[in-house]
Each structure stands twice: as structure tokens, then as C-alpha cells.
Chain A
Amino acid sequence: MLRVDEAQEPVEFSPALISKFDEIVSRYPQGKQKSGLLPILHLVQAEFGWVSAPAMDKVAEYLSILPIEVYEVATFYTMYFLRPQGKYVLEVCRTSGCCLVGAEKIMDHIEETLGVKEGEVTPDGLFSWRGVECLAACGFGPVLQIGPEYTFYENLTNESVDKLISDLKAKAKN
């Protein structure tokens, strides 16, 4: 059941972030600022790694809409994380086209390599992984993407996944 009872850290949006919000809202006609909700939630997630309830309240305040309108939207779409995730979330396509070329084996391999189940975070806080639906790259499968830039990795093999994971580990160290 979706209910947030534990207290969550309050958040502050930096002026730089707010000015990005302002730019987004300027794209819509007067009074239709709610249209900016989805892109703004992406920015919030990019900044904080996930969208917490206090962050959503802040967004509601910024857009002059009700908090529940933000919750409704954030829970509808799959890309918004409602709880903290690893720094890198490996999202592997699990749909038919990719399964024909070995997506399920790649997911098994990732599970084994990272040692955590789908949706869990590695103890070092670096990685999570999950299966997602078709990413519109079926001809180049198996594929995975990593937010917040949503960089794409195509034609995966066990070896390329291993390399990716070790590259990310190295990147996190620096």
C-alpha cells in the first residue's frame, strides 16, 4: 500500500534549479503551468536521485497546484522513483524483442554480478537494477539505460555488462 508515514527529509530547491523550472513553465500558455509537472519531476529526480514527498509538496507549491495532483502523477508514471535507489539504476528491457536475443540472461547476469534482487540497492549504494518495458530499441537488443541522462547501452553481452559495471564503479570513485 502506498502511504508514506515515515518522516522524510525536507528539501530545498536551489535558485539554479528554480530558474530551470521557470524556463520550462514559460513554454506553456498562461495559466497552464501544470503542464510543466512531468519535466520538473525529472529535474527533481536528477538532482536528488528520487522524488520524496517533501519534494513533491514543494513542486506543488511552485506550480500552484494541490499536492495530491503531484502524487497522482508521480505514482502513475514508471520513471519516477518514490524511494531512494542506487546511484546508477540499470534499467534493462524485459519485453519480447529483447528476450528473443537474450535479455533474460542479461538480467540474471546482472542480478548475479551485483548480488541484489530487482528493485534493491547494493550495500555500497551504487547500483540498483530493474526490468522495464520495451525501450524502443528492439533491433539492437538486449538494451539497458541509465538515468538521469538515460544513456543507452545496446547489443549487451555479459562481458559488456561487466565492463559497464566496472567503469561505473571507477567513475563513482573519482
Chain B
Amino acid sequence: MGRKLLLEHINVPGINTFDVYRSKGGYASVEKALKTMSPEAIVEEVKKSGLRGRGGAGFPTGMKWSFLAKPEGVARYLVCNGDESEPGTFKDRYLMTYIPHLLIEGMIVSSFALGASTSYIYLRGEMMPQVRILERAIAEAKAKGFLGKNILGTGYDLELYVQPGGGAYICGEETALLESLEGKRGNPRIKPPFPAIAGLYGCPTVVNNVESIAAVVPIINEGGDEYAKIGIGRSTGTKLISAGGNLKKPGVYEIELGVPVEEFIYSDEYCGGIANGKRLKAVVAGGSSVPILPANLILKTINNEARLMSYESLSDGGFVSGTMLGSGGFIAYDEDACIVRNTWNFARFYHHESCGQCSPCREGTGWMEKVLHRLEYGHGKMSDMDLLVDVSKKIEGNTICPLGDAAAWPVASAIRHFRDEFEWHVTNASEATSRNYGIAHYADPLKVVETA
């Protein structure tokens, strides 16, 4: 059994209420941090923990905090990113629904460390139930003196507000989120300046994912060094993985980073294997934006080593044969899944969610969707695959924000690894509309590569 730092008490009845949460040791980190630690010391602990941002990019949180500009007399803000709209990812919603006080506890400690006296939790608009849950939890915490003026008599003041969005994936991008929080269209800002210098209302701001902030709680309770002992290499601590798709037991799992992918999929502790006794065909390991891999490459790296659930191991092989941990949205595809249809589905998503500011993404995402649509519906051409790769290359790296890259990678990787399935959709167009290509060779053992 791996250690659980975030979800340890998730099954305790009433853990969503202040009293039960407190009786399980909740809010201890607030007492410890506010009464016995300086803000700098907290930042130092987080640095030591090696915690990396859980929102997708994996940037070390402690380092991000230390970049925050601290000009005299200017407010600083902490904004929690609860936009969670990446297809495949549903851990933040789960965490906020069942154990909301964990996030609030993390927000208090983190705000204190950053010197923020007003902090916002930005949730995607569709999470209205979670807005209500968090607001209730905030009211409870406030009534017990953990929020508001002079918290626990330490002289530290903090107001915490929940802000709903309006329905836009792009508002997960941190500068688009800040725009949205300012009541504007969610157009990502052109950087520089970075939020650490000029973020919300032009003031220095840190944006962190829900899970990153929650993870600060065990880090303060147990110490950064203890936290860093969990995990493997530079992937320290535990991570929430949202497991979905054709799995026997889909759901949110807290893993110690470094669990083998094979164990994660097939062991009864985690997903329990593929549903309905089918075989695994492909996996998207970190949310829709990361490259999709066929079964053989997700279980083993190209060098035939077991692949682990960690930042490094998943990206082993780069874009040629690897993928990324991303936000931990793990989607498993069984032998009946159609990769072409799925790629079209993702392309439609990015087309729908592009903010439309910059030309390559605005026009390119729509173009890719249309080409994939015709491939899926049996009107494709052999040249379409090269066209798609070419269009994806023209988007990638040439845009304002990483959504352009995120739209390009799933398409490029699907064609890289599943080209024969795409070609089959062209050569056997009518058959392709009535049956699936099947698992083909995608789960075959990898040919061992000769290493010189």
C-alpha cells in the first residue's frame, strides 16, 4: 500500500465538515506555520520537498514562490487554479467535493507564506456544487477563527473567496485565468510580464493548482525532507491520478510517484485491469494534451525498461516514444476504441476551446478538426496524414500560449504511433464506418533495440 497524504481520511464520514476534519488532525499545519514559522521558512520547506506543480507543467512550486516580486506597499495575491477542464482530469473536483477543508488549509498556509491577505479560488463555472461546498467550508473555518482578521491571534489577516468562471478550458492557463478573474474574456496574456511580477490587477501573483496547494499541508506537517523521501528521483511525493476510460475501477487514486504503469493499470489496489476482460490498446497518460501512446510503449520504454508513473519515466523517449505526466489524467483505451475517432474528438475539443487570439491556433485547430472529421467519416485521403502533421507543426511553438502545442501534440502523436489505423480509414473507408480497426500490433512486445 502506498502512502496517502491527501486522501488518507477521504472515507471518514463527515470529513467534509470542519469538526470531523479537525478531529483528524486538520488545520494542524496552519497552527504550526502561523505560530512557529516565518514565511521564508515555509517557502524553504516547500523548496526542500521538491513539490512540482500538479496543474500540468510540473514547475517546482517552491521555486515559483521564491520568484514572487515583493515591492513595498503593493498587494500580493495567491490564486488557486481550479479550472480543471483538461479532458481526462478530474482529481481537483474530487478533492474539493469530498475534502474541501484540505484545500482551504493549504490556501491559508500558502497565502501566509506569500504574504497575501486576499486570495481567490477560481473554479470553472460548471463546478457550482463545489463553489457551494467551498463557500460553506470557508464560512466554517472563519467561524472557528482560521480565516478573517487576526487568525488564531497571530495578527495575520486573510480573506478567501471563491470565484466561478464561465465555461472555457483556456481559463486554466494562468494568465487567461487572471484575465477571467478580472471580469474579461479569457485571452491569455502575452508574456512577459509574468504573473510573479504583474499578475492579478497588475500586482505580483502566484497561480497554483488545487492539488499543489493541498500538498503544502503534509509538507508543513511532516517537513519538506520527509515529503521528498516519498517518490522517485525528482518526482517527489504523492500524486492524484484521475483514471478513466475502459478501466475496471476508474476513479481518483493517490499514488506514490514511481509506481510502475503496469501495476497501476492491472493491480487490484488501483484500476484492476481493463473492463469487460478486453485488452489494452492505448493510453493517454496525463490529460488530453500529452502524446497518446500504444499499449506496448506505455508499459515499457523504448529501451525495454518498465515505465513508471513519474515525470521522468513517462517522458522517457521524448516525443518519439514517450509522453508526459501532465495533470495526471489517465485515460485507458481498450481494443474496441477507434484512435481516429478519438483524435477527432480531441481536435474538436481544442478547436472549440481556442480563444482565437493568435492566428495559428485559431485557424489551425479548426483545420485539423475538419480534416480529421472527414477521415473518420470515410472521405479521407492518403495525403491527409502528412497534411495533419504539417499543420500541427505550424501551430506548435508559434502561438501565444501552450494551448496551441496542446492541440498539436495529440494529433501528431496519434499519427506517429497509429498511422496504419489512419491509413486503413482511407483504404477501407466504408468498412471503417461500420467496424473498428481493433488492437492490431499495438500491444505486441517491443522489438528490442540494439544499443551500441
Q: Do chains A and B touch in the complex (CB under 8 A)?
A: yes
The dominant DSSP class at the B interface is: mixed
In the complex, per-residue mask of A71-104: 1 if CB is within 8 Å of any chain B CB, else 0: 0111011111000000000000011110111000
B355 surroundings in chain A (CB, below 8 A): 76
B184 surroundings in chain A (CB, below 8 A): 34, 69, 72-73
A100 B252 Cβ-Cβ under 8 A: no
B182 A72 Cβ-Cβ under 8 A: no
A174 an interface residue at 8 Å Cβ cutoff?
no
A14 an interface residue at 8 Å Cβ cutoff?
no
B145 an interface residue at 8 Å Cβ cutoff?
no
B126 A97 Cβ-Cβ under 8 A: no
- Assuming the contacts A97-B245, A140-B250, asked whether A150 and B127 have C-beta atoms less than 8 A apart, the reply is yes
A136 B85 Cβ-Cβ under 8 A: yes
- Assuming the contacts A96-B342, A136-B124, A152-B129, asked whether A35 and B85 have C-beta atoms less than 8 A apart, the reply is no
A134 B349 Cβ-Cβ under 8 A: yes
B85 surroundings in chain A (CB, below 8 A): 133-134, 136
From the candidates A78, A101, A134, A139, name the one contacting B87 in the complex (CB within 8 A): A134
Q: Report the Cα distance A76→B357, complex, angstroms.
A: 12
B346 A39 Cβ-Cβ under 8 A: no
From the candidates A29, A63, A76, A134, name the one contacting B185 in the complex (CB within 8 A): A76
The interface stretch among B19-27, B166-174, B225-233, B368-376 is B166-174
A58 an interface residue at 8 Å Cβ cutoff?
no
Q: Report the Cα distance A138→B244, complex, angstroms.
A: 6
Q: Report the Cα distance A72→B345, complex, angstroms.
A: 27
- Assuming the contacts A73-B166, A78-B167, asked whether A135 and B126 have C-beta atoms less than 8 A apart, the reply is yes
A20 to chain B minimum Cβ distance, whole angstroms, is 13
Closest to B89 in A: A136
- Assuming the contacts A79-B126, A96-B87, asked whether A41 and B252 have C-beta atoms less than 8 A apart, the reply is no
- Assuming the contacts A96-B288, A100-B333, A134-B349, asked whether A73 and B183 have C-beta atoms less than 8 A apart, the reply is yes
Closest to B159 in A: A27
Q: Report the Cα distance A29→B90, complex, angstroms.
A: 32
Q: Report the Cα distance A16→B168, complex, angstroms.
A: 29
- Assuming the contacts A76-B166, A100-B337, A138-B88, asked whether A151 and B183 have C-beta atoms less than 8 A apart, the reply is no
The size of the chain B interface, using a CB distance under 8 A, is 57
A157 an interface residue at 8 Å Cβ cutoff?
no
A38 B165 Cβ-Cβ under 8 A: yes
A139 B244 Cβ-Cβ under 8 A: yes
- Assuming the contacts A29-B75, A139-B242, asked whether A96 and B90 have C-beta atoms less than 8 A apart, the reply is no
A134 B88 Cβ-Cβ under 8 A: yes
- Assuming the contacts A100-B333, A137-B93, A139-B243, asked whether A38 and B183 have C-beta atoms less than 8 A apart, the reply is yes
A35 B182 Cβ-Cβ under 8 A: yes
A149 an interface residue at 8 Å Cβ cutoff?
yes
Q: Report the Cα distance A27→B167, complex, angstroms.
A: 21
A88 to chain B minimum Cβ distance, whole angstroms, is 15
B376 to chain A minimum Cβ distance, whole angstroms, is 12
Q: Report the Cα distance A96→B161, complex, angstroms.
A: 32
Closest to A38 in B: B166
A95 surroundings in chain B (CB, below 8 A): 87, 288, 345, 349
18 A-B residue pairings within 8 Å (CB atoms): A29-B201, A38-B125, A39-B163, A42-B125, A65-B183, A73-B166, A77-B168, A78-B166, A79-B166, A95-B349, A96-B288, A96-B345, A100-B337, A136-B89, A136-B126, A138-B242, A139-B250, A148-B128
Given known contacts A74-B166, A140-B251, what 10 new A-B pairs fall within 8 Å (CB)? A42-B164, A79-B167, A132-B126, A133-B85, A133-B349, A134-B86, A136-B89, A136-B93, A138-B245, A139-B244
